[in-house]
Amino acid sequence: MNEKINVKAQEKLQKSFAMTDNMIEKFWDMWQISLGSLSWSQEQLETMAKKYLEQNKLAREESNKVMDELMKQVKNNQTQMQKMVQQAVNTTFENVDIPVYNYFDDLNKKVEALSKKINSL
């Protein structure tokens, strides 16, 4: 009878070890799958981060190009505005008949005439 108990105990112990081995094997498989999933997730995040940084770089470069073009346009507009203002001022002064200017013009002509007379003496 003791032998039967010992045999049954050994069988139960062997079954227990077999179940433990099976459980450890399944546990190890779960760890491998989990680590594989984590690795895949990390690769996906790295890819997304690289794409994001690349898009930001392209956006910055494009923004710089737009700003350069805008600055060129502003400079051109400023130059055109200065020319227009200068033309307007010149046209205004050409069409204005101010007696003071005529007086100085007449005075210069008289001084030149007198200088010629003095030089001819």
Residue 101 vs residue 79, higher pLDDT: 79
Give dist(CA 58, CA 65) in Å, integer: 11
Q: How confident is the model at residue 22 (pLDDT cuts 50, 70, 90)?
A: very high
Map tokens 């498989």 to a residue. 29
Please state the domain extents for the chain. 2-120
Helix, strand or coil, per DSSP, at residue 100: helix
Q: Write down the pTM of the prediction.
A: 0.46
pLDDT tens digits, 56-95: 999 999 999 999 999 999 999 999 999 998 888 878 767 6
Burial class (CB in 10 A: 0-12, 13-18, 19+), 9: exposed
